[in-house]
Structure 1
Amino acid sequence: MLMHTDGPHDLRHHGDAEIRDTGALLIDLAVNVRANTPPQWLRECVGGSLASLAAYPDGRAARSAVAARHGLPPERVLLTAGSAEAFVLLARALPVRHPLVVHPQFTEPEAALRDAGHEVDRVLLREENGFRLDAAAVPESADLVVIGNPTNPTSVLHSAEEIASLARPGRLLVVDEAFMDAVPEETEALAGRTDVPGLVVLRSLTKTWGLAGLRIGYVMADPETITALERAQPLWPVSTPALAAAEACMGPAALKEADQAARLIAVERAHLLAGLAEFDEVRVVAEAEAPFVLIRVRKGAEVREQLRCLGFAVRRGDTFPGLGPGWLRIAVRDRVTTNRFLQALDQALAVVGD
């Protein structure tokens, strides 16, 4: 469904708001950063970089490491201060006339486009279709299309080839793969592809490695697009510690660790989904492939508040275009935490009732 309105959604609301400045000690199921991260070896790597803070950052080694990890030349890679900076650069540095965002998905791309003065259209994917991509719903006139894969908050992993079918001459196809490294073997990834015209892929090191406070991500695109984005960046946009982390996370041992973490997440997600399936009051987006799941309950706002009273923070869903107050996003955690959450959800549903 195509929409031409900005709607009432708070595009600047993010999961960290669920736990920030609450005064309460809540178990965090609202933020999708992997628990118990960064690992000790990565902490030591970042800490070791502090000895060189007197020098200006030099991103060449990190850029080359990212490029090599994806089988690309360095001129097809741009390091950014997290994917949020990348969305701002895309909105401000490129000649875009008709941007379109496929929702429900991470809202920062649309917010950045609107802040840059663009009118943004939306394609809303439908619950009855499992929030799966309908490429035919994207109008030919769109010259920038943004989609997440796997998508936040639905946890749906779209087919790489169906996403690639959105490519057109004169169109930028922006794919946010911030959670792709949480998918075992990164099936359906487009990162590293050079055969899709206009393809722009964004990655983040925030989620798997627990680096939200460090701000490090990267863009992969054709050299002309990378050059245009780089010209819009300030000097030295990525700090020396962030560059050290980026280089370290591209190594073979780190990639193996990330894949092992992705496989563990898949096991723990299956346990969470099985527990949620026991509730008649809960509707689940079942084809989940990311480190979170999306559910729908009656009186979702009341259920969320009851969960807070019971010590759990979950992400409200009504700030995502295409969703309403009944939707809640739940991060995948270890089995003990999940079991405690399921007990709390049972209590919350009983209190809210019909």
Structure 2
Amino acid sequence: ARTIERLSRPGRILVVDEAFMDAVPGEAESLSGRRDVPGLVVLRSLTKTWGLAGIRAGYVLASAEIIERLRSIQPPWSVSSLAIEAMRACMESTALDQAERLAADDEPVRQWLTDELQQLGGDVVPHPRAPFVLVRFPDNGDLRMRLRDTGWAVRRGDTFPGLGPDWMRVAVRDEPTMSGFLDQLSRLVP
């Protein structure tokens, strides 16, 4: 958060994507409550934790001036009735409590997964906190496809600027699922 804070300048708009922040226990690095950072725009998703990617529901936090500028270009009917109902459900106190429990439960599995991926020769982006781990297996550009052929789907990394086909985003799931994934992965990497 402090690093991002230092990027702020008067006249500059600083957009921070916190789509997965609810997957971080306690949301310690969140900027969503900050009002002292000029030009700060925080984007949050209400549907990542619940696997509602098709709903595309979220919200923007910013100064009243920036919100008004965004509102002026907002299309009519930008949120469907289904998305509104999903948003309501995702913001109920029981859902927020459950998201916090899920985030806490994922932490040890994410750390174990990270350690295992490194043991298999993967270059893991340090200190993952989201419900996924970004990993690269050098010289294994078709690894993702070989995993797919064995029934394991991982997100390709080459759709993110600066990453190539040897990068993958591995979702953190329960330990038995991750164990099966790692077992299969160990058969595919040299």
| SS at structure 2 position matched to 1:324 | coil
TM-aligned CA distance change 1:210 to 1:227, over 3 Å: same
The aligned runs of 1:1-354 (5 Å cut-off) are 160-279=1-120, 281-349=121-189, 353=190
Count residues with an aligned counterpart.
190
- Highest Rg: 1 or 2? 1
Taking the aligned partners of 2:177 and 2:38, their CA distance within structure 1 comes to 44
String of CA shifts for 1:257-301, please: whole Å, max 9, x gaps.
11001111212212212322322x322223111111111213332
- In the TM superposition, what is the alpha-carbon distance from 1:223 to its structure 2 partner? 0.9
| SS at structure 2 position matched to 1:207 | coil
Taking the aligned partners of 1:244 and 1:258, their CA distance within structure 2 comes to 18
Taking the aligned partners of 1:247 and 1:339, their CA distance within structure 2 comes to 35
Taking the aligned partners of 1:314 and 1:182, their CA distance within structure 2 comes to 19
- In the TM superposition, what is the alpha-carbon distance from 1:233 to its structure 2 partner? 1.5
String of CA shifts for 1:179-200, please: whole Å, max 9, x gaps.
1110000011000211111010
**Does the Cα contact within 8 Å between 1:312 and 1:341 map onto a contact in 2?**
yes
Taking the aligned partners of 1:242 and 1:224, their CA distance within structure 2 comes to 26
TM-aligned CA distance change 1:191 to 1:320, over 3 Å: same
TM-score (norm 1): 0.51
String of CA shifts for 1:201-220, please: whole Å, max 9, x gaps.
00011211222122211101
String of CA shifts for 1:299-345, please: whole Å, max 9, x gaps.
33222222122111112222322222322221111111111111111
| SS at structure 1 position matched to 2:154 | strand
| SS at structure 2 position matched to 1:175 | strand
| SS at structure 1 position matched to 2:128 | coil
**Does the Cα contact within 8 Å between 1:300 and 1:327 map onto a contact in 2?**
no
TM-score (norm 2): 0.93
Root-mean-square deviation (Å): 1.5
Structure 1 segments, 4+ long, off by >4 Å, are: none
Taking the aligned partners of 2:137 and 2:75, their CA distance within structure 1 comes to 45
Consecutive unaligned residues of structure 2, counting only runs of 5 or more, are none
- In the TM superposition, what is the alpha-carbon distance from 1:176 to its structure 2 partner? 0.4
Taking the aligned partners of 1:321 and 1:214, their CA distance within structure 2 comes to 24
**Does the Cα contact within 8 Å between 2:10 and 2:39 map onto a contact in 1?**
yes
**Does the Cα contact within 8 Å between 1:300 and 1:328 map onto a contact in 2?**
no
Taking the aligned partners of 1:240 and 1:308, their CA distance within structure 2 comes to 35
Question: 2:73 is matched by which residue type in structure 1?
Answer: A
Amino-acid identity (%): 54
**Does the Cα contact within 8 Å between 1:283 and 1:295 map onto a contact in 2?**
yes
TM-aligned CA distance change 1:289 to 1:231, over 3 Å: same
Q: Which has the higher contact order (CA 8 A, sep 6+)?
A: 1
TM-aligned CA distance change 1:270 to 1:298, over 3 Å: same
**Does the Cα contact within 8 Å between 2:142 and 2:165 map onto a contact in 1?**
no
Taking the aligned partners of 1:212 and 1:315, their CA distance within structure 2 comes to 14
Question: 1:275 is matched by which residue type in structure 2?
Answer: E
Question: 1:338 is matched by which residue type in structure 2?
Answer: M
